[in-house]
């Protein structure tokens, strides 16, 4: 949240612009990360400069080890915005780092193996739009949906009845989890070393 400044609206805008640029610069590292933002409070009248602005961000990353990186960059963007616009900034992070207000399948795959396939429905409309909602209910979309449903069902049958497939899935999942945990430990170690250097300086 940005608050206690005559320029809080500019600070909020600065945060969003700076974070977009930071994300673009680090896209090679964070691969399939995602961030979403809404302005929860941005003033009461168009002709009155607000003294308080509040933003809410969701930060999503494909692995635990990437989350501290993008979180640190987000914090830096907020602090920079506050400094540049004369604001005071208060950052509040959720205690639970996993989203609990939606059914994101990514959370599930931290506990058990899974896939989240995308498929064509006969339209170029983007997801989460009214155009996509209309397209998904169209007759043309039903053909693609049925074909995809059949493919998923056949995949499930392969896992259940093909010897060794389930064991391989479990093995690969375990290896991926171990790799992620090792990466997370490396990130934590790197942050600890950076903190030591900063304290020395």
Per-residue pLDDT of 33-43, as tens digits, reads: 566 777 788 77
189 inside domain: no
Domain boundary among 83, 102, 121: 102
Per-residue pLDDT of 117-152, as tens digits, reads: 889 999 999 887 899 999 999 999 999 999 999 999
Helices 139-161 & 165-200 angle (0-180, nearest 10): 100
CA 184 vs CA 67, 82, 187, 191: distances in Å: 9, 30, 5, 11
Report the 10 Å Cβ neighbour count for 111: 9
192 inside domain: no
Residues 113 and 35 in one domain: no
CA 9 vs CA 21, 73, 78: distances in Å: 19, 21, 13
144 inside domain: yes
Give the pLDDT score at 9.
55
Residues 79 and 7 in one domain: yes
**What six digits make up the tokens of 132?**
């996509």
**What six digits make up the tokens of 159?**
């896992």
Alpha helices in 86-138 (DSSP H): 105-108, 130-136
Which of 18-22, 62-66, 184-188 is the least confident region? 18-22
């Amino acid at each position: 949240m940005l608050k206690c400044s005559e320029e809080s609206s500019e600070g909020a805008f600065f945060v969003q612009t700076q974070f977009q640029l930071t994300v673009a610069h680090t896209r090679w590292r964070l691969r399939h990360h995602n961030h979403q933002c809404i302005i929860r409070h941005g003033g009461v009248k168009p002709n009155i400069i607000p003294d308080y602005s509040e933003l809410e961000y969701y930060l999503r990353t494909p692995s635990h080890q990437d989350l501290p990186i993008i979180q640190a960059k987000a914090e830096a963007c907020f602090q920079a915005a506050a400094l540049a616009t004369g604001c005071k900034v208060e950052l509040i992070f959720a205690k639970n780092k996993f989203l609990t207000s939606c059914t994101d399948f990514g959370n599930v795959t931290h506990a058990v193996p899974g896939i989240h396939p995308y498929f064509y429905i006969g339209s170029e409309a983007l997801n989460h739009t009214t155009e996509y909602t209309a397209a998904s209910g169209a007759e043309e979309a039903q053909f693609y949906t049925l074909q995809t449903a059949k493919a998923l069902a056949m995949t499930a049958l392969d896992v259940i009845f093909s010897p060794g497939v389930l064991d391989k899935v479990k093995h690969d999942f375990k290896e991926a989890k171990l790799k992620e945990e090792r990466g997370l430990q490396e990130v934590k170690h790197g942050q600890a070393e950076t903190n030591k250097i900063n304290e020395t300086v």
